[in-house]
Amino acid sequence: MKKTYYLITAMILLLGSSINAQSPKEGRNGRKAVFGKKILERKLAYFKENLMLTSKESVDFEKAYRKYESEKMASRKVFKNEIMDKVAKGKANDLSEREQTALIRKKIALDQEKCDINRNFQEDLLKILPPIKVIKYFKLERQFNRELMKRFKNRKSKARGRMSRRPMPGTPPPPPEE
């Protein structure tokens, strides 16, 4: 009887330690990364469908858009890690005036980098697509983002008990009911 008790206790301890091997933070970041990839894929599908791209335009557009998104994310990551973490944790008050000035200059440089990323992407778009499709892309980008924000707001209200049936832009329509 004692052996069984010790065996069960040891198994529970081992199982518990293996469950806690992955920190909660890693789990959340994993889900966040997958969610971001899903949005990116839906965005690309939405643009390709609504811009009516040729096969060559589609391949070139996807390549340029993925590059643009990765550069944007890298810039955001630097901003978060180097600036917002210091400000959010209240460390800005502990910095010297010289360090605070350096932090502001870093923010200005990151803002300039963001502008450069946007300009380069728009120039790439002009090389890939005719101007009318580039203009239409800007409109579609705003529409997609607006619909995405509505969906998140509806999701929030749905959690409170209100229902929403708006599909995310770029998702295929549901199959007809029989």
The per-residue pLDDT for range 146-172, each reduced to its tens digit, is: 998 988 888 777 766 655 556 666 666
- Identify the pLDDT of residue 161: 61
- Confidence tier at 7 by pLDDT (50, 70, 90): very low
Least confident of 4-13, 41-50, 76-85, 160-169: 4-13
- Identify the pLDDT of residue 64: 95
Does a structural domain hold residue 63?
yes
**Total domains, the chain:** 1
- Identify the pLDDT of residue 52: 92
Does a structural domain hold residue 141?
yes
Report the chain's C-alpha Rg in angstroms.
24
Give the residue with greater pLDDT, 9 vs 129.
129
Give the domain extent around 85: 40-157
What's the CA gap between 79 and 123, in Å, rounded?
24
- Identify the pLDDT of residue 57: 93
What distances in angstroms separate CA 97 from CA 80, 100, 103, 104, 127, one per listed residue? 21, 5, 10, 11, 45
Which one, of 142, 169, 146, 133, lies nearest residue 46 by Cα?
169
- Confidence tier at 114 by pLDDT (50, 70, 90): very high
Are 71 and 110 a contacting pair, CB within 8 Å? no
Does a structural domain hold residue 29?
no
- pLDDT digit string (tens) for 77-111? 888 887 787 777 667 677 788 888 888 898 899 99
Are 44 and 69 a contacting pair, CB within 8 Å? no
Does a structural domain hold residue 172?
no
Does a structural domain hold residue 5?
no
Does a structural domain hold residue 102?
yes
Arithmetic mean of pLDDT, 127-151: 93
- Confidence tier at 118 by pLDDT (50, 70, 90): very high
- Confidence tier at 175 by pLDDT (50, 70, 90): low
Does a structural domain hold residue 127?
yes
Does a structural domain hold residue 107?
yes
CA angle at 135 for the pair 130 and 140, rounded to the nearest 5°: 120
- Outline where DSSP puts E strands in the chain: none
Residues in the chain: 178
- Identify the pLDDT of residue 144: 92
